[in-house]
Amino acid sequence: MLVQSLPEGPLDIVGDIHGEYGALLSLMDRMGYDYDGHHSEGRIMVFVGDLIDRGPDSISVVRLVRKLVEANRAYCVLGNHELNVLLGKANSGSKWLYGKKESLIRDKKDRHTLQALADEDTRAEILSFLRQLPIVLERSDVRVVHAAWDDAAVDKLRFDILVPLSVPCRGWKPLGLKKKHKHPTL
CB 144 within 8 A of CB 12: no
- CA 158 – CA 124 distance, rounded (Å): 27
pLDDT at 98: 60
Provide the β-strand partners of residue 103: 115
CATH topology of domain 3-157: Purple Acid Phosphatase; chain A, domain 2 (3.60.21)
pLDDT at 53: 85
pLDDT at 50: 93
Residue 135: partners with Cβ closer than 8 Å, 6 or more residues away: 2, 3, 77, 78, 145, 146, 157, 186
Residue boundaries of the structural domains of the chain: 3-157
pTM of the model: 0.75
pLDDT beneath 50, residues of the chain: 100-105, 110-114, 162, 166-181, 185-186
pLDDT at 10: 97
